Amino acid sequence: MAKVNGWLCLIMLCCCQGIFAAKIVAYSHESFSHAENIMAIGREMTQRGHQFSLLVSSITAEKIHTSVKGIKIVPYPATTSFQQHVECISMVIKNKLNVSWECMGILFGSCDGIVSDMETVLQLKKDADLLLVDITSVCSGIVDGILNISKVIAYSPAGFIDPSLSRLFHIPASPSYVPTVIVDYSNKMTFFQRLHNSLTYVAMVILRSAFDPSVQAMYEKLVNSSFKSYGQLRPSMLIVSTDFAIDYPRPITPATKVVGALLPHAPLKLPQELSDFAELLHNDSQDFAIVSFGTLVSKAMDNIIDFQAIGRVLSRLPMKVIWKYHHQIDDLGDNVKVVSWFPQNDLLAHRNCKLFVTHCGLNSMYESAYHGVPMVAVPLFADQPSNAQRIKSAGIGEIVLFKELNEQSLNDAILKVYKNPEMATKCSTISNIMRDRPGNRTPVEEVGDWIEFAIRHDGGRHLNLAASQLRWYELYMIDVALVLIIIIVMIYKITTRLASLTYIFTRNRFLSS
């Protein structure tokens, strides 16, 4: 009997193909919102029985909730403080820029932090099966070079970031219908918008090239290896957190996997600190709005935006308001509650939440859209203006530009969105599209499926385009074009020469006769 049981166990083990435990190493950008997305992936992978380690800066590690089970957090020393990040963002907003050299310096500085504790970082390499890198970080190539793990997947929690990712992964991105990340155009552009978008595309490519020598010098100094430029990074697959329910439709490559937004989810129980508004949350007839500009951006906006004026607008609204802000505001109406933190997803999921005033970060935009809540967007910098344009194009929100922000403009936008039946219908439609997933697989489950697929099949390298192996002049057919031009010129020259000789010969015969 024991021998029979032994054979049965052996047969069952042979049949259990695909059941394996892998060691996955992930690296996240310093932004906590990026780390949140990668932690969501980590939770999914640990639930599947895999080991998951996350390399983050010490600043980000401090913010990660201690209840994250199964994920090994590996902090590297931050070279800048949280306050320096705040000051950087403040300067960008104040000067009406999308990025600054000072901010880029902070991002480059984080690479020094990674290498300063090389011993800790190298421990992650042992027996690792796959590296998942946040491709939005300038340090992703350095982490890839240090660890040199055979299978590498790139992950973008910030969408396509055109033209950066589209050029790196050879994704079609014509400026005629794909707006670059720093312009606030839709995919239906006028002639002058297409002209501006094309020039911006070229400028961003040149700017990226200008940074390469700095990164190359840093890479060779820190990693003591030949530089992997963005065109030479080793990721064989790209996973993108975006959803075509809002994002503009576009062609993608076989190695590009669009999975949707990872953070929206069914609501959890609301915290006790909102008990002052308990009647609001249990009264079917009482609408409420939430206001949040994000932790980092809110602090950066101090002394730039008149929050007292925003408070006066909110106090006049015909609904309750829960406002996430780090200071108390004087003379607020009884309808406004200011809190230092709230569970944004859970409040947006509440049946009485009718409006979201937001800076339009990507996570906030998708959480609101997923739960069918219309938005008033106050975009400030980076990808926020382009995100705001997406919600306006989708018909699920209005935009108040930073340069036009005042009591009147904010009040008008809120009242225009609040109880707008047409907008409510569009919000419901987009929410249904985002929830209707083929095979009922959630976005984070789909990410898990692709990671396991990559582990089983050499990182999914068979999906890569041959374009990644071509030189730039081969990719853009410059060599072929030059040969064709030479042939055409030669044919023209030969034809004109023959015509000339024929003319001379004919004329001479005519004259001689």
Q: Over the stretch 233-272, which tens digit does the pLDDT of each residue have? A: 668 899 999 999 999 999 999 999 999 999 999 988 877 7
Burial 261-285 (b: 16+ CB within 10 A, else e): bbbbbeeeebeeebeebeebbeeee
Taking the CA of residue 294 as centre, how many other CA atoms within 13 Å lie in the half-sphere pointing to its CB? 23
Residue 213's CATH number = 3.40.50
Q: What is the pLDDT of residues 310-361, one digit of tens each?
A: 999 999 999 999 999 988 888 899 899 998 889 999 999 998 899 999 999 9
pLDDT of residue 216: 67
Q: Name the 3-class secondary structure at 213.
A: helix
Is 201 found in the same domain as 129?
yes
In the predicted structure, residue 55 carries a pLDDT above the cut 70: yes
334 located within any domain: yes
| Final residue in a domain of this structure, among 409, 435, 461 | 435
* Mean of all residue pLDDT scores within the chain: 86
479 located within any domain: no
- E strands along 83-139, which residues? 130-134
Report yes or no: 159 and 365 within 8 Å, Cβ to Cβ. Answer: no
Total domain count, the chain: 2
Beta bridge partners of 27: 55, 133
Is 288 found in the same domain as 159?
no
Is 416 found in the same domain as 297?
yes
How distant is the alpha carbon of residue 300 from its chain centre? Answer: 21
192 located within any domain: yes
Residue among 92, 88, 117, 93 at smallest CA distance from 105? 88
Is 161 found in the same domain as 52?
yes
Is 420 found in the same domain as 325?
yes
Q: What is the pLDDT of residues 189-243, one digit of tens each?
A: 999 999 999 999 999 988 877 776 766 666 666 565 554 554 456 688 999 999 9
Q: What is the DSSP string of 392-432?
A: HHHTSEEE--GGG-SHHHHHHHHHHHTT-HHHHHHHHHHHH
Q: What is the DSSP string of 21-45?
A: --EEEEE--S-HHHHHHHHHHHHHH
Q: Which residues contact 339 (CB under 8 A, 6 or more apart)?
A: 273, 274, 322, 323, 324, 325
Report yes or no: 451 and 236 within 8 Å, Cβ to Cβ. Answer: no
Is 421 found in the same domain as 303?
yes
Q: What is the pLDDT of residues 167-191, one digit of tens each?
A: 889 999 999 999 999 999 999 999 9
Is 288 found in the same domain as 221?
no
Most confident of 105-119, 199-213, 300-314, 379-393: 379-393
Is 200 found in the same domain as 342?
no
What is the 8-class DSSP label of residue 377?
E
Find the radius of gyration of the CA atoms of the chain: 28
Instruction: Name the amino acid, one letter, at 416.
Output: K
Cα dist from 275 to 270, 288, 322, whole Å: 9, 15, 12
Of residues 364 and 20, more confidence is placed in 364
Is 333 found in the same domain as 231?
no
| Final residue in a domain of this structure, among 420, 435, 450 | 435
User: What average pLDDT does this structure show over 134-148?
Assistant: 87
Is 173 found in the same domain as 109?
yes
Residue 366's CATH number = 3.40.50.2000
User: What average pLDDT does this structure show over 467-487?
Assistant: 92
Domain ranges, residue 183: 20-235
pLDDT of residue 303: 75
513 located within any domain: no
502 located within any domain: no
User: What average pLDDT does this structure show over 372-388?
Assistant: 93
Q: What is the pLDDT of residues 287-306, one digit of tens each?
A: 899 999 987 777 778 777 88
User: What average pLDDT does this structure show over 392-420?
Assistant: 94
User: What average pLDDT does this structure show over 473-481?
Assistant: 92
pLDDT of residue 104: 66
What is the 8-class DSSP label of residue 307?
H
pLDDT of residue 105: 65
Residue among 85, 125, 75, 130 at smallest CA distance from 105? 85
Burial 238-250 (b: 16+ CB within 10 A, else e): bbbbbbebbbbeb
pLDDT of residue 364: 95
Backbone angles phi, psi at 73, to 5 degrees: -90, 120
Distance of alpha carbon 509 from alpha carbon 513, whole angstroms: 6
How distant is the alpha carbon of residue 158 from its chain centre? Answer: 1
Is 288 found in the same domain as 198?
no
| Lookup: tokens for 107 | 């991002």
